[in-house]
Amino acid sequence: MSELFYDAAPNATRVAPERPKPRTYPAKPAEVTLFGTCVVDLFFPEAGLDAIRLLEREGIRVHFPQAQSCCGQPAWTSGYVNEAREVARAQLNLLDNGMPVVVPSGSCAGMFRQHYQEVFAEEPDTLERVESLAERTFELTEFLLHVCKVDWQDLGQPTQIALHTSCSARREMNTHLHARELLGKLSNVQRLDHDHESECCGFGGTFSVRMPEVSGAMVLDKTRSLRESGAAEMVTADGGCLLNINGSLEKQQQAFRGRHLASFLWERVSGEVTP
């Protein structure tokens, strides 16, 4: 890479280089695969089902391959490359059918879109398939907004909510902008800002157990600012953050809770109130 810059013009001007073009979106497909993610699978399965319902509502047939498991992120961020690659390969093989893949979790979608290229960096033969998966992967809110171009009627009562987005996902994929715009389509929902909104909730996968005191201080601050925002509840499209934030709130014996965005959205547009 360094060779690349060797001949860079020594007096390059201050003219901004071309910014990466915004992602171009395909027309709404007839069918998609849902990659549920391991955290949603085990702890928030209703949110996964609500994501399926939201997609079906747009006339899309949803496939859920039963052989799916985890995207490989926990091992990858812990430095266990071989283990991460094995698990990633299993998902890559499973999803290698050209169908769009919708993921109800920003950081897992980010794993497909950004990090599989690093995971398989030493396998040039695999990279083509990795690139194909990256192109076909959409985080749920992004898919609903830009591919389905949803037009919703809000059937819920007026409410105020706070939005939290996984920080890696917001930085890698602008998930916060997608979620905000989507929430903006709901006439009775008011989104309230909270203090240090863009700051990490302290989850970070294994960081939360390797550095529990630092992580604990972060989630304590995050839950406080969420509660003090005046919102009735928090919504997020990231399972890991939700597990972290709700687990902390419960430990603190606070009544305030977070909810997966898919469940919140389904409730608003279907009029069904989830128990």
- In the region spanning residues 88 to 107, those forming contacts with another protein, defined by CB under 8 A, are 89-90
User: Contact, 231 vs 192, CB < 8 A?
Assistant: yes
User: Contact, 100 vs 29, CB < 8 A?
Assistant: yes
- Min dist CB 160 to another protein, Å, is 25
Q: Is 184 in the site for another protein (CB under 8 A)?
A: no
User: Contact, 241 vs 31, CB < 8 A?
Assistant: no
Dihedral sign for Cα atoms in the order 272, 62, 33, 26:
negative
- Min dist CB 189 to another protein, Å, is 25
Phi and psi at 101, nearest 5°, equal: -115, 125
Burial of residue 26 (CB within 10 Å: 0-12, 13-18, 19+) is: exposed
- Min dist CB 37 to another protein, Å, is 9
- Min dist CB 224 to another protein, Å, is 13
Task: List, in order, residues 6 or more apart from 9 with CB less than 8 Å away.
Answer: none
- Min dist CB 105 to another protein, Å, is 12
Q: Quote the tokens at residue 159.
A: 């409410």
User: Binding to another protein (CB under 8 A): which residues in 118-137?
Assistant: 118
User: Contact, 33 vs 95, CB < 8 A?
Assistant: yes
User: Binding to another protein (CB under 8 A): which residues in 42-81?
Assistant: 42-46, 48-49, 52, 62-67, 69-70, 72, 74-81
Among residues 25, 28, 29, 41, the one that binds another protein under rule CB under 8 A = 41
Q: What is the spatial distance between Cα 208 and Cα 121, in angstroms, rounded to a whole number?
A: 28
> Which region among 84-92, 127-135, 136-144, 225-233 touches another protein (by CB under 8 A)?
84-92
How many DSSP H helices and E strands does the chain contain? 15, 8
Q: Which of 150, 92, 137, 140 is nearest to 238 (CA)?
A: 140
Q: Is 109 in the site for another protein (CB under 8 A)?
A: no
Q: Is 34 in the site for another protein (CB under 8 A)?
A: yes
Among residues 127, 192, 211, 232, the one that binds another protein under rule CB under 8 A = 211
Give whichever of 186 and 248 is closer to another protein, judged by the CB atom. 248
- Min dist CB 69 to another protein, Å, is 4
Give whichever of 54 and 186 is closer to another protein, judged by the CB atom. 54
Q: Is 250 in the site for another protein (CB under 8 A)?
A: yes
Give whichever of 89 and 191 is closer to another protein, judged by the CB atom. 89
